Homo-oligomer: A and B are copies of this chain.
Amino acid sequence: MAANYPTMKRSPLSELGRRTEPPPISWLIQLALSRPRLISLAAGFTDNESLPVEDVRGLLNGILRSRRTGQPALQYGSTQGDPVLRRLTARHIRRLDAGPASSRVYSADRLIITNGSQQLLYMVAEALCDTGDIVLVEDPTYFVYLGILQSRGLRARTVRLEKDGLDLARLEHLLVRLKRTGELRRVKLLYLVSYFQNPTAVTTRFEKKSGALEVLGKFERAAGHPIYLLEDAGYRELRFKGEDVKSSLAVKGRAERVIYTGTYSKPFATGTRVAFGLLPEPVFTAVLRIKGNHDFGTSNLLQQLLAQALATGRYDRHLVELRERYARKARIMSKALREQFPAEVEWLEPRGGMYFWARLPRRLESGPKSKLFREALANNVLYVPGELCYADDSTRVKPNREMRISFGNAVEKDIRTGVARLGAALHKLLDL
């Protein structure tokens, strides 16, 4: 490519363009690609074997068999999303929450179909936050969300996570502090990954969702505007133990402050990337308009596919199989961890989702430049260093002795071998 242009003194990029960093795990992905014999327990990919290839084929054949149903699937749709998929999705969430059929909270009118829940998270940030605004997050949290905040010049303030969700006393304490420093008006929302959290596998108790909404509500007058709870329920249906927990939409009288997002990527066909959000006004209208500018609507073909999966019951049947499969893989990983990891390493047994979160003894670090990470790499195994999941927050030291280890994508043999390799690395360093 001929370079006829002189070098310019200024970058043509916008502030956002210059600011946006590469995703924190892009180097991890590169590592994995460059070493074919590597076992990655780092990837957030779903289980390949259980991807519903036959179901999707059958459903698409049904849609495309006739021109009557095939044509609309191959035509543009509306920005908000297919009415049938919205109705079935809204009903699905309402039933999970055991909400009354008459509830306006679960109305399809409040629902927007998006390209992955990631797009919903992005648009909500666009709709609510100006540069310099503050978003409250769990500590640790979903690192891709932190990328959105970084890119948009938003500040994360962290709230300690307990075994049953957010530490509400800390949440309140943080808000008091922000009020004192005059920063409360910059606080727009609290982001919760409420089911089998990525990365810790913690599920937030319903009482804590309710409590969080109450705490946020107390500070609204001082903030001068609503403060939202953004509930990311991405892993909700990947539950293989215990009972479902109601979402924050079910907290009485608070639905006006709840933005709920869920996805079909995790529980059904990952490669379709169809997801959704349920939003209160004025966020709903703002996000819908932004979606109009992003892409004026998600692929109709994919939406029809998901609507058919729900309508025919294939979605529910698939979920039963999928849960058994993830349960089995979690058991295999748990057994391997018990057998292979030093006794001083701690972890929580996940009841759903795709992750174990392991905490090392004090004298070991897990970061990208740590001895452990290099030793693991030498052993051809990859994990996500825990520190990537912690937001920058100068009010606490960033923890650096945790690992996210995923059983989502790896096959059973690789889970066993991968954990054994990690265990060998840990033993070696602890024995030094």
Q: Does A21 contact B (CB under 8 A)?
A: yes
Q: Give residues of chain A (286-312) contacting chain B, Cβ–Cβ below 8 Å.
A: 286, 289-290, 292-302
Q: Does A129 contact B (CB under 8 A)?
A: yes
Q: Which of B53, B188, B283 contacts A64 (CB 8 A)?
A: B53
Q: Does A37 contact B (CB under 8 A)?
A: no
Q: Which residues of B contact A282 (CB under 8 A)?
A: 11-13, 17
Q: Which of B57, B129, B148, B300 contacts A70 (CB 8 A)?
A: B57
Q: Does A228 contact B (CB under 8 A)?
A: yes
Q: Which residue of B lies closest to A18 (CB)?
A: B286
Q: Does A210 contact B (CB under 8 A)?
A: no
Q: Does A272 contact B (CB under 8 A)?
A: yes
From residue A264, how far is it (CB to closest CB) to chain B in Å? 11
Q: Does A71 contact B (CB under 8 A)?
A: yes
Residue-wise, chain A 15-40 has the 8 Å CB interface mask toward B (1 for contact) of: 11110111100100100000000000
On A, residues with C-beta under 8 Å from B are: 1-6, 8-18, 20-23, 26, 29, 44-46, 48-49, 51-54, 56-57, 60-61, 64-65, 67, 70-79, 103-105, 115-116, 118-119, 122, 126-130, 133, 144, 147-148, 151, 185, 188, 217, 220-221, 224-228, 252-257, 265, 269-273, 282-283, 286, 289-290, 292-302
A17 to B79, CA, bound (A): 17
Contact (Cβ within 8 A) B128 A8: no
Contact (Cβ within 8 A) A292 B257: no
Contact (Cβ within 8 A) A2 B71: no
Tell me which of A9, A53, A290 has the highest count of chain B C-beta atoms within 10 A of its own C-beta: A53
Contact (Cβ within 8 A) A14 B269: no
A23 to B292, CA, bound (A): 7
Contact (Cβ within 8 A) B289 A20: yes
Q: Which residues of B contact A221 (CB under 8 A)?
A: 6
Q: Which residues of B contact A265 (CB under 8 A)?
A: 76
Contact (Cβ within 8 A) B20 A286: yes
